[in-house]
Chains A and B, each alone.
Chain A
Amino acid sequence: MLRIKGIADQGGENSPPLMGGWNMTPKKMRTGILFLAPAMLFYCFFVVFSIARVIYYSFFKWNGLNFPQFVGVSNYVRLVNDQTVLAAFRNNLIAIAMALIIQIGIALILTISLSNCKFGARFFRTVYFVPAVISGVAVAMMFGQAMNPDYGLINTSLRLIGLGTLARPWLSNSNTAIYAALLPQTLQYIGWNVIILVAGIYNIPDSLYEAAYLDGVSNLQKTWYITLPLLWEVIQICIISAITGSLQGFTHVMVLTGGGPNSATELVGLLMYHRTFQWLQFGYGSSISVGIFLVGLLFSVLFKRYFSSDKIEY
């Protein structure tokens, strides 16, 4: 009988065969592979093959219509010297900062409040999650109306409460446009983080809080010394997805400003779209995509290396 080295081995020869596990006959194995094959084929074709093609085209000058011309690493040389790319990357860093501070910050506060909530926790959890399932385009359009300088909710409210001097064309002013354009995507995914964090917080054993209660610690101390350290692994997941999500930011900014005014809200994903599909520079656009992938990978690796802690056991 074929045995695959794995968790079943730990149980020794006499351990019972696991249903759907590693201990299976060649026939069962073949069936398993057959069932997996279509999904694997799709995955390889649409993901692995596509990534390989993008890397391949990043070494060519190609407008998508003519024959590609090999240009070596010149697209990458152009990429690191392109001021627009650097400006777009700076905007992505702002997106990351906003996601980390506002999105995860608010999500943490809401999660901790929910864990202390005796009534209606389920209701509020659903309410917070609702924006995450709405289309990004719809959310961006709603914010676009709210930020209208003339009749928008934000400026009208400011004028109503006597703060009219603060009212401004949020999306048209080059100084405020990037923050205004990034706000919808930052706020929309708070609920998504809340759901992940709530799942994590419910895994913390009550006994720890009961012990802390007997020791007479305050709520703030409970949060600081028990909740946050034990939630750190889950927070890490939120941070990594916030970073990668912010690097891929596109929809909201595309709808709200299209990268304007005068490229003030350009993000690298948006820039990749503009260069590839509007300027027909498929080779250069591919090199931008590879750049986004590498930066995302670098951020994740660095974060895991310097901030991850040992697995916590309760």
Chain B
Amino acid sequence: MQKFQKAILVLLSVLLVSVISFSNGSCKDKITLRLAYIYTGGHAKAPIYEPYIKEFSKLNPDINLSLEPMNGGTPDVQAKLYTYAAGDNLPDVFISWPGPGMLKNFVDAQKIADLKDYLAQDKLFKKYFQNKEYFFDGSVRFEKNGPIWGIPDEPYYMFLTVNKKLFAQAGVQIPKTYEDLKNIIPKFRAKGIIPIAMAGKDQDLNVCFWFGMLNRFGTDQEIIKGLTTGDMEKAPAYLRSAKAIYQLAGLKAFPEGCVSMQSQEALTLFDQGKAAMYYGGTWYLGNVSPKTAAGCEVVPLWTFADGKGDPKELLGGVAVEYLVSAKSWKENSRRQAVDKLLHYLINPTLYSKYLELGTPSILNLSYTDKTSPLLIKADKLAKSATRMQQNYDAYGSQQANDALNNLSQGLLNRSITPEEAVKQLSEQAKAGAAN
């Protein structure tokens, strides 16, 4: 019996040792790189991006690319990246949202590489970003001539997308002012049309909508200061925008139960011709089918009679960028592999495919007959803008952004007054700044 037990123990040990040796041996000469990305699942870019990156290992047999898709809303993906960073286990290359607020924790803890010298020396990247250094400012570079913490992957701008057919059906004009908007809401409702597609679950459409309102009511300086310090008494734009959202919810401008909807669900309402408009960024254009897109128009958000914001300014900048783990960047052989991967990812071949989805490109690419007509209209609108302002959540702490999301839900379902919402937002922004 004892001999039998010993034999089993020896056999198991041999098996374990051989499995470990085999797994090490198979990748002995390859460098394994980890790439974490968000273009997966229901993301409009997923059908293009995922097959494209799977080709990388075939084209580069010396590199084994380990793919780590990150599903979920912005806070969940951020949480995943922070957890990686806390375990000193960040992927070699990963996608993140830009801005000093979003990247602060990575920068302070020296977890991401400064790519300033690399971008200045690399011939191709130098060419790509020539005369486009404005992409870096406020997104991956936070001080003049300072470090550059990532490579922009996708630019964006925000606007109102309207379904002209539904406007004609309701017999109304595209709203230019807030008063126009209030007047047309009952007319849409009378025809069974949802005036504005909205969702509150994944910190996207609802937060963008609040930012759009803030941009119209106040100056960028006062809004950013309010969000980064919590000093919102001096920024009346917060209360006035909160009041506008609360009022619109009361007028039934949004779908019933929008607070528990995902942005993609809300955009489906728009795409199916059930909702007349939505306010959001270019990253949503891929969710609008060509059939619906053909009857759509993109216009600036309505203005408020006493708003201090520049009506010709658009919210926009860099939507996402690639960051490189500082640990990987220190190792020479790994750095070379990362370099290959970055060139494969920031590439005209891939970006030209995105044009069909309506995703603008950081590279100078020509439109083709397959380019989304909405993107062409949006690009035209962007060119007519006096300036672009990076979305405000790029500056706020995670705590402030989280509060903004929660409180906008409260305004949308009218469970909180605008005054109370701004008071709570101010408290959370102050606490976030202190942490």
**Are both chains from one complex?**
yes
Residues on A lying within 8 angstroms of B by beta carbon are 31, 63-66, 144, 148-150, 169-174, 177, 256-264, 273-274, 277-282
Q: How far is the CA of A263 from the CA of B86 in the complex (A)?
A: 26
* Chain A residues, Cβ within 8 Å of B258: 172
Q: How far is the CA of A257 from the CA of B260 in the complex (A)?
A: 6
Smallest CB gap from B88: residue in A: A65
26 chain-A/chain-B pairs, Cβ below 8 angstroms: A31-B5, A63-B105, A64-B83, A64-B85, A65-B86, A65-B108, A144-B260, A150-B255, A169-B259, A169-B413, A172-B256, A173-B257, A174-B413, A174-B415, A177-B260, A257-B260, A258-B73, A261-B259, A261-B406, A261-B415, A262-B407, A274-B75, A274-B402, A278-B76, A278-B78, A280-B435
- A65-B85, A261-B200 given; name 7 further pairs at CB < 8 Å: A149-B257, A170-B257, A171-B260, A172-B259, A173-B413, A261-B415, A282-B86
Residues on B lying within 8 angstroms of A by beta carbon are 2, 5, 73, 75-76, 78-80, 82-83, 85-86, 105-106, 108-109, 111, 200-202, 255-260, 398-399, 402, 405-407, 409-410, 412-413, 415-416, 432, 435
Q: Judging by beta carbons under 8 Å apart, are B85 and A261 in contact?
A: no
CB-contact partner of B201 in A66, A258, A281, under 8 A: A258
Q: Judging by beta carbons under 8 Å apart, are B83 and A260 in contact?
A: no
Q: Judging by beta carbons under 8 Å apart, are B257 and A150 in contact?
A: yes
* Chain B residues, Cβ within 8 Å of A66: 108-109
Smallest CB gap from A257: residue in B: B260
* Chain B residues, Cβ within 8 Å of A177: 260
Q: Judging by beta carbons under 8 Å apart, are A261 and B413 in contact?
A: yes
Smallest CB gap from A62: residue in B: B86
Smallest CB gap from A150: residue in B: B256
Cβ-Cβ contact count across A and B, 8 Å cutoff = 105
Q: How far is the CA of A65 from the CA of B105 in the complex (A)?
A: 7
Smallest CB gap from B76: residue in A: A278
* Chain A residues, Cβ within 8 Å of B402: 274, 278-279
Q: Judging by beta carbons under 8 Å apart, are A148 and B257 in contact?
A: yes
* Chain B residues, Cβ within 8 Å of A262: 406-407, 409-410, 413, 415-416
* Chain B residues, Cβ within 8 Å of A261: 200, 259-260, 406, 409-410, 412-413, 415
Q: How far is the CA of A281 from the CA of B105 in the complex (A)?
A: 12
Minimum distance in angstroms from A132 CB to a CB of chain B: 25
Q: Judging by beta carbons under 8 Å apart, are A281 and B413 in contact?
A: no
Q: How far is the CA of A171 from the CA of B106 in the complex (A)?
A: 35
Q: How far is the CA of A174 from the CA of B407 in the complex (A)?
A: 12
Q: Judging by beta carbons under 8 Å apart, are B75 and A278 in contact?
A: yes
* Chain A residues, Cβ within 8 Å of B407: 262
* Chain A residues, Cβ within 8 Å of B111: 65
* Chain B residues, Cβ within 8 Å of A170: 257
* Chain B residues, Cβ within 8 Å of A274: 75, 402
CB-contact partner of A65 in B109, B255, B410, B415, under 8 A: B109
Q: Judging by beta carbons under 8 Å apart, are A263 and B398 in contact?
A: no
* Chain A residues, Cβ within 8 Å of B78: 278
A65-B111, A149-B257, A280-B105 as given contacts; A260 in contact with B86, CB under 8 Å? no
Minimum distance in angstroms from B92 CB to a CB of chain A: 18
Smallest CB gap from B411: residue in A: A262
A171-B257, A172-B260, A277-B82 as given contacts; A257 in contact with B201, CB under 8 Å? yes
* Chain B residues, Cβ within 8 Å of A278: 75-76, 78-79, 82, 398, 402
CB-contact partner of A279 in B86, B255, B257, B435, under 8 A: B435
Q: How far is the CA of A278 from the CA of B402 in the complex (A)?
A: 9
Minimum distance in angstroms from B270 CB to a CB of chain A: 14
Smallest CB gap from B424: residue in A: A262
Minimum distance in angstroms from A122 CB to a CB of chain B: 38
* Chain B residues, Cβ within 8 Å of A280: 82, 86, 105, 398, 435
* Chain B residues, Cβ within 8 Å of A263: 406
Between B109, B201, B258, B416, the greatest number of chain A beta carbons within 10 A of the residue's beta carbon is seen for B201
Minimum distance in angstroms from A207 CB to a CB of chain B: 44
Q: How far is the CA of A221 from the CA of B76 in the complex (A)?
A: 54
Q: Judging by beta carbons under 8 Å apart, are A277 and B108 in contact?
A: no
* Chain A residues, Cβ within 8 Å of B412: 261
* Chain A residues, Cβ within 8 Å of B109: 65-66
* Chain A residues, Cβ within 8 Å of B73: 258
A148-B257, A172-B258 as given contacts; A260 in contact with B409, CB under 8 Å? yes
Q: Judging by beta carbons under 8 Å apart, are A169 and B260 in contact?
A: yes
Between B105, B260, B413, the greatest number of chain A beta carbons within 10 A of the residue's beta carbon is seen for B260
Smallest CB gap from A180: residue in B: B260
* Chain B residues, Cβ within 8 Å of A257: 201, 260
Q: How far is the CA of A263 from the CA of B105 in the complex (A)?
A: 25
CB-contact partner of B399 in A173, A258, A279, under 8 A: A279
Q: How far is the CA of A292 from the CA of B383 in the complex (A)?
A: 54
* Chain A residues, Cβ within 8 Å of B405: 260
Smallest CB gap from B194: residue in A: A150
